[in-house]
Structure 1
């Protein structure tokens, strides 16, 4: 994944549903490259592993508790607000992604 670090951040934010609407075009341009697609795949797999807990990797003792404490200290975006911001821009791009509502 030798994508520019800033583009990786955009791809990561897109995968997390946290990308600002005005940054979508840059993120989708990055996804149009091999490195961008690799980054997307990696971030998607990371997110899936974190959501399901089925990553097949043995974590160190206390990792889950430490991660939970750190995440609890972060402000979570409201899903409806994220969807309201991102969905119209995604629909305008007409790239075959249909946001779930």
Structure 2
């Protein structure tokens, strides 16, 4: 039962991190109208004041590749019952915590 719940949480984390990160990066790079998103969906650049970033491209890629990638790796390892599944699951959990705290 715990394994199934972990798979659900890891799958949800992977999907939302990948989708959110790609939407941030591509929306900042191309503009929301080219992605078919409403203009209101664009996050204001004022949110980046005091950060080392001038756009949401790099934070979006970090979210998609690191956080989403770790969740995908942990999901696959848990699905295959790999011996590193627990370690990858912990790393995925810590990655989202770091993302939230730094954000």
- TM-score, length of structure 2 as denominator length: 0.29
